[in-house]
Structure formats: structure tokens, C-alpha cells
Structure 1
Amino acid sequence: MSPNNTGLPPRNRGSVKSDKQPSKQSPKKKKKKSAFKTFLKFLLIIIILAILSVAIYIGVLWKKADSGVLNTGNNTPVPAERSAKVKPITMLLLGTDYRPETGTHLSDVMMVMAFNPDTLSATVVSIPRDTKIDLEGYRENKANAFYPIYLSEEKKSGEKAEDRMKKMLGKYLDTPIDYVTVLNFQAFRDAVDALGGVQVNVDMNMCYKDTADGTNINLKKGPAELNGKDALDYVRYRKSNCRPKTQASDDFDRNKRQNEVLHALIDKMQSLSGISKIGGVLDSMDKNLEMDIESDQLKNMISTYWKISKDNVKFMPITGNWKSPYVYVSDGEISKASQALADEIAGKADHSADSTDEQTKP
């Protein structure tokens, strides 16, 4: 700020003659600080901090990818025309129920995501875990049962379980899937804790206890900041065995909560506090994450999508009819999900409203 912008005449560098000599006893008047100037200085500091934070965010992501901390195990070069910077890509995200206390690998979270670099947007299709998969060439089963079966058959089949999941769900949604990421429940808990928790609006009271795997869900309806354990309980909750019992929920409720938590995590990670914790988040995820994406492609994704807005991430949960033990999904519902992914890849997706708000349970 200019020192002249004070409402006082400018000072000369030399001595200033005055017609009136001030009394030696006269106290000097303190200049009154401008509230507007104080605000501008504060705003400037915030802007500088924001710029530095973004730079740190990019730097941390890039350094971790470049140094191999997020080592994908795939160093195959990526041709320029296949770079995520210029080409839409699809990815399967599997969230398994593996935790040290269970050792199981059911894929309770299944999402197929399409990313478009031109529109800087993404569409996420979530598949209910109990969906009945009945495809030609595949044995009929629940959607979440395929991954552990494929894991047990890797030596016999000679094919990685992750590759078989890409093929199977790619056929189910009529969408070629480029990459797969497997993230277990422990990674989810650690990532939320590394961010300092996540804010959600718990939609109902939830109570369930299982001494076999240490599950102890006890959540109250209303706004809450959840730690990693409670956030996992929130997205997993199915039924109650407490007294008094709390209301049960189904796959569609859980998909809605998954989307809510993902939106909240995007908010948290893009905040100043979240940016400062991104290193810890990535470290915690890397310990419990597998992916087949090329290392160079991972860098391409980081540099392209780090600033994606949550408003440009469209969640589209597949819905169907529950009839124990399956969720039955209509051909029309599958076609709608397939078309949403195709529209994202083609740059035609409508992100004006989140489709999760438009979905109704059958």
C-alpha cells in the first residue's frame, strides 16, 4: 500500500518548515488504522496461503508419484495419444471388506468411473453388492462374490483376479474398463483419519454389534463428524441386532451414503486443512491399495484431475428390486448406467444435477 494514501499531505525528505511550533509537552496523535486496509492485507495473506497450498498439494502428489511412493508396479510407457490428459479413461474401483480382523475379500463397494479431461468431469456408477450377475460365460452369483473367487483361482486360471473383474463388469455394463483399483476397508478408515474426520448428516439411528469381527456400530441421527471407523460403519450399516432395534437399510441406502461420504471427502481434501494432510492420506492408502495403472498415467491423472469440482462428479447408483438373496436389476437400468458412462466418455454428460437426488428406491 502507498504511504501517501492517508489523507495527509506528502512528507518531504528534508526538514519541514512550519508556521506554528508544536509545544514540547504536546503528545503525538496516533494514526488510526484503516479497517479497509486491514481487510485487504488479510485477504492478500489468504490468497497467498491458498496459492502456496495448491502448489504444495500438486507438489506432494507429483513427488509421491514420481518417487514411487505410490508405486503402481507398471512402468510401461504411455503413448501421448493415450494420456489421461487428452483421452477419457475408465476405472473400476473395488472396495473390499478386508480388515486385519477378518481377512475376507468380498467386494462390498463396486464403482465404475469414467473421466473426461476435456470437460474435467467424471461419472461414477455404483453397483449394489447383492446384484445378481447372470452373464453368458459366467456362473450366476452375487456381484461381490466374484472377486474372492477369482483370487482363489489365480494360480489355476493364470489370470489376475483384478483383470477378470474388469472383463466381467465391463461386459455387464457394456463399457470397456481401462484400469482397476482395489482399496480395502482399512485404507478407507486410515484415509478418513488422516484427513481428521469427515462431516456427514447421519440419516437415521444405527446400532449393530458383532463380536466375531469387532463390529460395534452405534451412530445417532443428525449432523456428525465421523472418524475413520465410524465413517466405515456409516457406509456399511445393514441391519440392527440391538435392543431397541434401529431401522434396517439396504444396498440402495448404502450406495447413497457412499456417495455422500465421497462428496464430503472431496470437500475435505480440497480445503486448506485437507491439502496440508494429503501426504498422510496418500501414505495410508498406499499401504492398502493395489492398482494396475501405469506410473506415467498416474501422473497424468494427478496433473489433470487434482482440481476437479465435486459438482462435476456425477454419481449414478444402479437400483433394482430386492428379493433375498439377490438384488434384481432390469435391463433398462443397466442400459441407463451404460449410457451415462458412454456420455461421459463422449463429453456429453449432464452434470447440472446429481442423479443420486433423482433416484428413488423401488
Structure 2
Amino acid sequence: MERQVHKKNKKGFKILLVTLLVLISGIVTYGYSIYKNVNKAANTVHSPIDRTPTVKRESDLSLLKRDPFSVLVLGIDEEAGDKGRSDSMIMITVNPEKKSMEMLSIPRDTRTEIVGKGFDDKINHAYAFGGVKMSMNTVEKFLDIPIDYYVKLNMQGFKDIVEAIGGVTVNNDLDFSVGKNHFPVGQISLNGKEALDFVRMRKQDPRGDFGRQMRQRLVIQDVMNKAANISTLWKYTGILEALTNNVETNISFDEMKDMQKYYGDVPQNVEQIQMEGTGEIIDNIWYFIVSEEEQSKIQTQLKEHMKIM
């Protein structure tokens, strides 16, 4: 089965959901007090994770040497008192030598072994069972590449981030409605609640998870563009508040600065990798099944991009 790969030219360093990386390059020029607030926000969202990787590097990652690295982005659907599940999972690899970034959206219903549980289940259940650590271990084994960093975004708070930047504008290719919100084909402007409904819809889309992943990228790309816009800097207090309330990552402020300094020119070429598979009902539960051949192809591509072959 063939895998479809779409290439798009991008400007700047756009790791999905890590809006802080974009803010750093613009905000620091506006004075020490703003820089200090960004530093404080980065330290607030910083959450180191203690785990033993299931796939290890031959040597420690060095950002100063511009080593390729990987980031697992988790969009978590959770409410008070509910640990939640990973609503979206995006694997990002960055290669400075090739000046490229590869982005793989992992369908949340993908059936694979849940590392630490010893049985197969939907890959997004790993977060419900064991949080970020189990999600990283499970995805790491599924893709057979080391995962260096993670970024966790609370999907319930996603609307706060969109509201903080004054809404988003996207080009929609599918006419649909969610509740009272209608999303016509063409360029549309969305507030926070509308943006959340826009990225979550799946049942009305014949493309299923793939269509939903595409809409997520559309919204996130506009969030990133607005976050990098000088006019948005005047709203930096609201943006930082939304980030500190809804984002968690093991990327430190110093590492963010190193990424901006040593990798800022990297992803002039971004490859969107689509994972192919088939639907199958097992024990009355629907799963997305990825063949061994397809899994091996994706693993090989990501390994080559990270130079770990």
C-alpha cells in the first residue's frame, strides 16, 4: 500500500503547538521585562520526565552540534477529574543538515502494543493508562526511533490560546456543521470555541482522522503565524497566560533558545507523512490497522531523517 507524502514550503521554525519557540525570537527585542515574563512562562510549562527510552541513541543529543531531534506532540482531551486520552498525536523529526522537518500524524485508533501494559490497544489509550511517559514509550516502540521531547496541549484550553491571539483564519475544504456552528467551504474566521469544534469534527468527514488532522494543522499554522506577528506581541500577556495554563513540555527555556539559534533556518521544507492502514473490528472494537510493511517503511523514513540508520 502506498503512502502519500505532501511537501510544503514553510518559513521559520514551526514546531506544532510550541508557540513559545516563535515568541522568543520576537518578544525578547521588546525589552528585559517582557523577556523575563517569557522566561517565567517557559519555566512554568517546563515539566521534565524521568523515563528509560525503549529506543536509545548511540550518543547523547547535542543541540549545539545541531543533531537531528524528535518531538512528540500530544493534544489531550481531558476535564477536571478525568485523566483523558490523547486526542491527537503528531511525531515531528528535525534534520538541520537537510534543512527539513517531517511531520507524521498518528491516527488515534492505531492498534499497537501499549508499552508497560503488555497488550495491544488503541495507541491513544496509552496516555489514559500511564500519562506522557507511557505515550512516549509506546510511540517510541511503534516507530522504532528515540523520542527526545514532548509537548502536551490540553484541547479544552486550546480555545483560550486561539482567543488570546484574536482568533484564526483558515481555508476550509469541507462544508459541515457542529451544533449551531456552520463551517462553509472557503476562507473562514474562527473564535476559540469555533476553532475547537472545527479541529475536533471527524464523523462528518469522509477522510475520518486524516481530515481532522488536516484541519488541526490549518488552525495551528495560523496560530503560529499570528504568534510571530509583531502586532500580536501587544497581546503577549494573554498568550503567555493561555500557554502556561494549557501547555506542558520537557523542553527547557535554554533548549528553546538553542533551537531558535541553531535550528531557526531548518524547516524550509516540511514533509507531511500520511500513515496508511485499514479499519478492522476486533472484539467489537474498531481499530486502525497498520501493516508491518507500512510500519517498516515509515520507521525507515524517520530513521533516515534522524540519521540513526
Q: Percent identity?
A: 30
Q: Deviations over 1:255-284 (max 9, x none)?
A: 222222233333333333345445532331
- Secondary structure at the residue paired with 1:82? coil
1:200 to 170, 175, 197: 170
Task: Report whether the alignment pairs 1:283 with 2:241.
Answer: yes
Instruction: Supply the distance in 2 between the matched residues of 1:165 and 1:188 (Cα, whole angstroms).
Output: 20
Partner of 1:190: 160
- Normalising by structure 1, report the TM-score: 0.64
1:297-336 superposed matches below 5 A? 297-305=255-263, 311-324=268-281, 325-336=286-297
Unaligned runs of 5+ in 1: 1-50, 151-160, 210-215, 241-246, 349-362
Change (3 A) 1:63 1:122: farther
- Normalising by structure 2, report the TM-score: 0.73
Change (3 A) 1:140 1:230: same
1:51-90 superposed matches below 5 A? 55-56=29-30, 60=34, 64-65=38-39, 69-74=43-48, 82-83=62-63, 86-90=66-70
1:127-138 superposed matches below 5 A? 127-134=106-113, 138=118
Q: Deviations over 1:53-83 (max 9, x none)?
A: 783499956752367554514499xx99723
Instruction: Supply the distance in 2 between the matched residues of 1:347 and 1:313 (Cα, whole angstroms).
Output: 20
Instruction: Supply the distance in 2 between the matched residues of 1:57 and 1:123 (Cα, whole angstroms).
Output: 34
Instruction: Note the C-alpha offset of 1:305.
Output: 4.7
Instruction: Note the C-alpha offset of 1:187.
Output: 3.3
Change (3 A) 1:259 1:319: farther
Instruction: Note the C-alpha offset of 1:111.
Output: 1.1
Task: Report whether the alignment pairs 1:343 with 2:309.
Answer: no
Instruction: Supply the distance in 1 between the matched residues of 2:190 and 2:166 (Cα, whole angstroms).
Output: 9
Instruction: Supply the distance in 2 between the matched residues of 1:61 and 1:337 (Cα, whole angstroms).
Output: 40
- Secondary structure at the residue paired with 2:92? strand
The structure whose Rg is larger is: 1
Report the number of matched residues.
272
Q: Residue 65 of structure 1 contacts residue 295 of structure 1 at CA under 8 Å; is this kept in 2?
A: yes
Instruction: Supply the distance in 1 between the matched residues of 2:290 and 2:49 (Cα, whole angstroms).
Output: 39
Unaligned runs of 5+ in 2: 1-24, 51-58
Higher relative contact order (CA 8 A, sep 6+): 2
Task: Report whether the alignment pairs 1:171 with 2:141.
Answer: yes
More strand by share: 2
Instruction: Supply the distance in 2 between the matched residues of 1:263 and 1:108 (Cα, whole angstroms).
Output: 18
Instruction: Supply the distance in 2 between the matched residues of 1:53 and 1:289 (Cα, whole angstroms).
Output: 19
1:91 to 71, 74, 99: 71
